[in-house]
């Protein structure tokens, strides 16, 4: 399990929350857990990072090491300096430091260039932090030398314009990183593992590609004596998606392979490896020696143990939504997980068996209903889950429809499998009404009946060429060439991207045509992004996608721009006619010709059953969209809490 910023430390100190979180992952069978990153000096991070820059943090570090090792895993700490990626907000107004005074696109701040004397001090700070890691009882130390942080800022010509021995050609730009590793080796000795986590490609225009970084990897091994290399990808400001759902599983393994072929130490692959099948193939095919699974073990801490014991079909896979992990970092909140409502709350959410089991009806088999049913059954209640359709999953299958969002469908299957192996009784194709409630006489009812699309009072909304976004995403309807999507929230954006994909080449088709040299690469690129639809997306608010998480939104906007999809904000639909749609915006009214109009106005709760149950004096809890239309993470977490509390 590689290091990930969890936002769970307080004033650099290890907390009970961190200890409980990592102890659970150790119990789950991870071979080695790397925590962090941890700071090397006061400029290197913020108070929610684990601290390693003072001796006073050693006891907390030791407590965390013990919790990991006592539960069966090896323990290591990643140390790092954020460089220009730090913000004066976290430094009491002080200016961040970097190799050169070049502004960061991420923080919008210009750092101060380090002097030669300060560089020497930072190198020593790394060494002293590594020594504290060893003194705290860890099995190894990892140094973050990528992702756009300080060491990679020295490596890259984009951020290093120095004219001294630390700038200029590649040898000089590598010097800082090499000297950091050499100093660490001197501090910790030859018998303490030193791992470097580095980029295989920084994905920055005019930055460092594979070849320079392969040369750096060789230098780390040959000149600095590092014991292993863990390969990640991209800087935080890179425009190549790295962590979201549309990134194919294991796609960056080629970068680990390129480095493995040039070094003599173990190479660890990482990024979007969320299942044992992918991991086994990568190792077995010689792409790497080990794999790192980060968010995959947030989603399911017992993934390794399930693999070891032949229960891989019961794994809850990370779907790379970033809603609870990366999006929470931007909010300065501790990491959570859409798929796992226990993540970050391990101690407080341990199931407490009930003394007297109750008969629980859960109505609705979407994410909220399944989560509620599982939590209630885990406590010992007699639970029956009712779903009116012929499958469990609900709107997760809608979320899975847009291009690159298939993992949401996998989560629906994962949760359904959890229900299947639990004590929950499932009734598919069953509508719950007052008569059924009277017949079953439950002690409590959890209403998870979801939502339905809003039918707006727009003149012409009932014309035959007007369709709902949900029907489009489920392939229940076809639309014409010229399409106007009304509503620029998450569903509207996803539907527009779904339609923009129509008529494009698939990944398999691109590979077939490419390897057979049927078309030139530029033509294949155009055919892969340009579909058969002309799409206009209109939104009444001043921004598109206000309900889309920050980690995902920029990728969706990039995709919309790439496909040529047009967008209008502060624009409303006035009337729909057989020829198109009359819209009104900052430039007044205009008629837009359209073959099809797609309504993505939003959805409304379906919860009439709650009143029926309440009037009968039966305990009733509404969860998910039945309670209030929100995101999948809200549905799953609300369902879980209801199941624990019922």
User: What are the C-alpha distances in Å from 507 to residues 245, 246, 271, 525?
Assistant: 16, 12, 20, 11
Q: How far apart are CA 528 and CA 522, in angstroms?
A: 10
Contacts of residue 103, defined as CB under 8 A and 6 or more positions apart, other chains included, come to 84, 109, 110, 111
Q: How far apart are CA 448 and CA 432, in angstroms?
A: 11
**Quick one: how far is CA 416 from the chain centroid?**
22
The enclosing H or E element of 497 equals helix 490-500
Q: Residues 77-97: what's their mean pLDDT?
A: 94
Q: How far apart are CA 179 and CA 123, in angstroms?
A: 7
Q: What confidence tier does 432 reach under pLDDT thresholds 50, 70, 90?
A: very high
Other CB atoms closer than 10 Å to residue 612's CB: what's the count? 16
- For 471-493, what is each residue's pLDDT tens digit? 999 999 999 999 999 999 999 99
DSSP 184: H
**Based on the number of CB atoms within 10 Å of its own CB, is 617 exposed (0-12), middle (13-18) or buried (19 or more)?**
exposed
- For 162-208, what is each residue's pLDDT tens digit? 999 999 999 999 999 999 999 999 999 999 999 999 999 999 999 99
What Rg do the C-alpha atoms of the chain give, in angstroms? 27
- pLDDT score, position 405: 92
Contact 627, 638 (CB under 8 A): yes
DSSP helix/strand/coil, 66? helix
Other CB atoms closer than 10 Å to residue 518's CB: what's the count? 11
* Confidence check: pLDDT of 439 > 90: yes
- pLDDT score, position 105: 87
CATH of domain 16-330: 3.20.20.70
Q: What confidence tier does 639 reach under pLDDT thresholds 50, 70, 90?
A: very high
* Residue with token string 């790295």: 242
Q: Residues 39-44: what's their mean pLDDT?
A: 96
Query: What is the β-pairing status of strands 451-453 and 603-605?
Result: antiparallel
* Confidence check: pLDDT of 326 > 90: no
Residue 640: closest CA among 344, 259, 435, 277: 344
Rounded-to-10 torsion of CA 300, 304, 306, 312: 90
- For 372-391, what is each residue's pLDDT tens digit? 999 999 999 999 999 999 99
Please provide the average confidence, as pLDDT, over all residues in the chain.
96
Q: How far apart are CA 293 and CA 30, in angstroms?
A: 9
Q: What confidence tier does 579 reach under pLDDT thresholds 50, 70, 90?
A: very high
* Confidence check: pLDDT of 309 > 90: yes
User: What are the C-alpha distances in Å from 580 to residues 100, 357, 424, 498?
Assistant: 55, 58, 49, 21
* Confidence check: pLDDT of 121 > 90: yes
Contacts of residue 288, defined as CB under 8 A and 6 or more positions apart, other chains included, come to 231, 253, 256, 257, 260, 267, 268, 269, 282
User: What are the C-alpha distances in Å from 253 to residues 150, 199, 286, 290?
Assistant: 24, 12, 10, 11
Percent of the chain whose predicted confidence (pLDDT) is above 70: 100
Number of alpha carbons in the 13 Å side-chain half-sphere of residue 306: 18
- pLDDT score, position 397: 96
* Confidence check: pLDDT of 558 > 90: yes
Backbone angles phi, psi at 536, to 5 degrees: -120, 130
Q: Residues 4-11: what's their mean pLDDT?
A: 95
The domain 466-601 belongs to what CATH superfamily? FAD/NAD(P)-binding domain (3.50.50.60)
Residue 113: closest CA among 164, 52, 66, 76: 164
Query: What is the β-pairing status of strands 359-363 and 290-291?
Result: unpaired
* Confidence check: pLDDT of 130 > 90: yes
- For 359-377, what is each residue's pLDDT tens digit? 999 999 999 999 999 999 9
SS (H, E, C) 4-60: CCCCCCECCECCHHHHHHHHHHHHCCCCEEEEEEEECCCCCCCCCCEECCCHHHHHH
Contact 198, 240 (CB under 8 A): no
Q: How far apart are CA 413 and CA 396, in angstroms?
A: 10
* Confidence check: pLDDT of 448 > 90: yes
Q: Residues 400-419: what's their mean pLDDT?
A: 95
Q: How far apart are CA 533 and CA 418, in angstroms?
A: 40
- For 131-149, what is each residue's pLDDT tens digit? 999 999 999 999 999 999 9
Contact 575, 458 (CB under 8 A): yes
Domains of the chain: which residue ranges? 16-330, 359-452+604-645, 466-601
**Based on the number of CB atoms within 10 Å of its own CB, is 352 exposed (0-12), middle (13-18) or buried (19 or more)?**
exposed
Task: Output the six-digit token pair for 171.
Answer: 């040898």
User: Ramachandran region of residue 564, left (φ > 0), alpha (ψ -120 to 50) or beta?
Assistant: left
Backbone angles phi, psi at 399, to 5 degrees: -65, -25
CATH of domain 359-452+604-645: 3.40.50.720
Q: Give first-to-last CA distance, the chain, whole Å.
A: 34
């Amino acid at each position: 399990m590689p290091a990930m910023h969890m936002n769970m430390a307080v004033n650099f100190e290890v907390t009970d929350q961190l200890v409980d979180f990592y102890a659970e992952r150790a119990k789950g069978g991870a071979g080695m857990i790397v925590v962090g990153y941890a700071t090397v000096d006061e400029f290197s991070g913020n108070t929610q990072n684990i601290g390693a820059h003072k001796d006073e943090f050693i006891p907390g570090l030791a407590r965390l090491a013990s919790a990991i090792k006592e539960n069966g895993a090896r323990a290591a700490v990643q140390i790092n300096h954020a460089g220009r990626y730090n913000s004066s907000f976290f430094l009491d107004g002080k200016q961040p430091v970097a190799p050169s005074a070049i502004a960061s696109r991420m923080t919008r701040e210009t750092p101060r260039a380090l002097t030669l004397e300060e560089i020497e001090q930072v190198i020593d700070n790394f060494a002293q932090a590594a020594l504290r890691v060893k003194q705290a009882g860890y099995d190894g130390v990892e140094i973050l030398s990528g992702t756009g942080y300080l060491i990679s800022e020295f490596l890259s010509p984009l951020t290093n314009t120095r004219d001294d021995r630390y700038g200029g050609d590649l040898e000089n730009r590598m010097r800082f990183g090499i000297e950091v590793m050499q100093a660490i080796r001197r501090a910790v000795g030859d018998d303490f593992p030193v791992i470097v986590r580095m980029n295989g490609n920084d994905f920055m225009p005019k930055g460092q590609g594979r070849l320079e970084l392969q040369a750096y990897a060789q230098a780390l091994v040959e000149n600095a004596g590092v014991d292993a290399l863990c390969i990640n990808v991209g800087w935080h400001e890179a425009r190549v998606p790295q962590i979201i759902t549309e990134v194919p599983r294991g796609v960056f393994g080629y970068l680990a392979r390129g480095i493995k072929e040039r070094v003599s130490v173990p190479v660890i692959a990482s990024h979007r490896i969320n299942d044992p099948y992918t991991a086994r193939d990568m190792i077995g095919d010689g792409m790497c020696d080990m794999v790192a699974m980060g968010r995959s073990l947030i989603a399911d801490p017992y993934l390794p143990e399930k693999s070891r014991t032949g229960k891989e079909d019961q794994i809850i896979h990370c779907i790379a939504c970033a809603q609870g992990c990366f999006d929470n970092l931007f909010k300065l909140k501790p990491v959570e997980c859409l798929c796992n409502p226990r993540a970050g709350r391990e101690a407080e959410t341990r199931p407490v068996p009930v003394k007297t089991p109750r008969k629980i009806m859960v109505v609705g088999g979407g994410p909220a209903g399944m989560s509620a049913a599982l939590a209630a059954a885990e406590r010992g209640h007699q639970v029956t889950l009712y779903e009116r359709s012929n499958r469990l999953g609900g709107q997760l299958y809608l979320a899975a429809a847009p291009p690159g969002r298939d993992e949401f469908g996998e989560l629906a299957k994962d949760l359904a499998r959890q229900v299947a192996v639990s004590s929950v009784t499932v009734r598919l194709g069953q509508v719950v009404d007052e008569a059924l409630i009277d017949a079953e006489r439950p002690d409590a009812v959890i209403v998870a009946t979801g939502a339905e699309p809003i039918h707006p009072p727009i003149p012409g909304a009932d014309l035959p060429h007007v369709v709902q976004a949900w029907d489009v995403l489920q392939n229940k309807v076809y639309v014409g060439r010229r399409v106007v999507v009304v509503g620029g929230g998450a569903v509207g954006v996803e539907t527009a991207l779904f339609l923009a994909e129509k008529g494009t080449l698939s990944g398999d088709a691109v590979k077939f045509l490419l390897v057979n040299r049927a078309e030139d690469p530029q033509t294949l690129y155009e055919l892969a992004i340009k579909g058969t639809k002309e799409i206009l997306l209109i939104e009444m608010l001043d921004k598109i996608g206000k309900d889309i998480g920050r980690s995902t939104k920029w990728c969706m906007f990039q995709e919309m721009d790439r496909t040529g999809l047009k967008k209008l904000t502060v624009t409303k639909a006035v009337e729909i006619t057989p020829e198109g749609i009359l819209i009104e915006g900052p430039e007044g009214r205009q008629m837009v010709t359209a073959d099809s109009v797609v309504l993505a106005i939003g959805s409304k709760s379906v919860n009439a059953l709650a009143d029926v149950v309440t009037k009968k004096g039966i305990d009733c809890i509404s969860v998910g969209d039945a309670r209030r239309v929100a995101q999948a993470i809200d549905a799953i977490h609300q369902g879980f809490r209801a199941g624990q509390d019922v």
